[in-house]
Amino acid sequence: MSALLQLDDVSMSFGGLKVTQEVSFTLQTGDRVGLIGPNGAGKTTLVNLVTGNLNPSSGRILLQGEDVTHTGISHRVRHGLVRTFQITRLFQTLSVADNVALALLQRKGLAMGFLSSATQRPEIRDEWTRILQVTGLESRAYDPVSVLAYGEQRLVEIAMALALKPKVLLLDEPAAGIPHEETHRVLDAIAALPADIAVLMIEHDIDLVFRFASRVLVLANGKLICDGTPDTVAANDEVRSAYLGSYANDRRSA
């Protein structure tokens, strides 16, 4: 069986700056992978390359065996590739429920209905209610997204990703802005996903990464410098000096 997502020697640069340099890795069914690295290492860029927001200058990207290197964004989404944004992007004037419902409708192929009701069809309604419960947003269902606190908007990002039932889910700093003590909501939400999908999470909250991931990729200056279990990564000197800093010590002492 082919990998869910496979990158072969993907490279890209902005002008002279090589942001992604020959990155290769695969995500298999059921993978829970963390992607860490210093600021500006190229993590978000990598996600953008995978989703099609940016085009690589060389290399290949395979989604469930299909070469999608040159296909459009929405095509990849329809084939199960879903992401969240580091800086939230939501439908600001629509309500939380509408945001989630749109994702649901799109996934179910109902989005071209011209004269049916959008959010209140029973099958849609039940599902967004459930998703909002999981993400703890049920009390805000009818508020327009624009009046939500920033942290709440991040949860809506995740709710929309859930609604799309991804095969491969890319989370760009999903827990940023959520209190440390509440990040379990994010983990809960991910845990509620089917086991056979692959999830890649970018996060600077190392606790969260290490709790979540069975495998961690480390990116620095556009290159993958480490790929292994959390423990091997935490023990890697290069990673510690370039990225983890005091955290590595804390962890050892904990």
Partner 1 sequence: MTAVPLKVTDLTAGYGPTRIISNVSFEVPAGRKLVVLGRNGVGKTTLLSAVMGLCTQHGGTIALGEEALSGRKTSRRAMMGLGYVPQTRDIFQSLTVEQNLSTGIRAGSDARLDEAYELFPRLAERRRNLGSQLSGGEQQMLSIARTLLGHPSILLLDEPLEGLAPIICDELMSTITELASSRAISIILVEQQIERALVFGEDAIIIERGQIAWEGAVSALRADRDLIETYIGVGIH
Partner 2 sequence: MTAIGTTTAAGAPRLPGWVRYEVTAFAVVTALGLIGYLVFPFDLALLTRIIAVTFLVLSLDLVTGYAGVVTLGQAAIFGVAAYAVGNACLAGITDPVMLLGVGIIAGALMGLVSGVLISRFSALPQLVISIAFGQLVAALANKLAQFTGGSDGLAGFAPSAVLGVFEFDIFGRTSFGFSLVVLAVVLALLLRFVQSPFGLMCRGIRDDALRARMIGTAVYPRLIVMYGVSGAVAGVGGALSAINVGVVSLHSVSFEMSAEALVMLVVGGAGHLLGAVFGSILFQIFGHFVGSTNPFHWMTIVGGTLILITLFAPKGLYSAFASAMAKFRKSRVSQ
Query: With CB cut-offs between 5 and 8 Å by kind, which of partner 1, ligand ATP, Mg ion, none does residue 87 bind?
Result: partner 1
Site for partner 2 in 94-113 (CB under 8 A): 94-95, 97-99, 101-103, 105-107, 110-113
- Contact between 43 and 17 under an 8 Å Cβ cutoff? The reply is no
Q: Cβ neighbours of residue 221 under 8 Å, at least 6 residues apart?
A: 18, 21, 41, 42
Establish if 40 lies at the interface with partner 1 (CB under 8 A). yes
Establish if 70 lies at the interface with partner 2 (CB under 8 A). no
User: 6, 20, 44, 135: which one contacts Mg ion (CB under 5 A)?
Assistant: 44
Count of chain residues binding ligand ATP (CB under 6 A): 19
Site for ligand ATP in 133-162 (CB under 6 A): 147-152
**CB of 74: closest distance to partner 2 in angstroms?**
5
User: 39, 116, 117, 253: which one contacts partner 1 (CB under 8 A)?
Assistant: 39
Which of 76/83 has CB closer to Mg ion? 83
**CB of 125: closest distance to ligand ATP in angstroms?**
23
Contacts to partner 2 by CB under 8 A: 51, 53, 72-74, 77-78, 82-83, 85, 89-95, 97-99, 101-103, 105-107, 110-120, 141-144, 160, 164
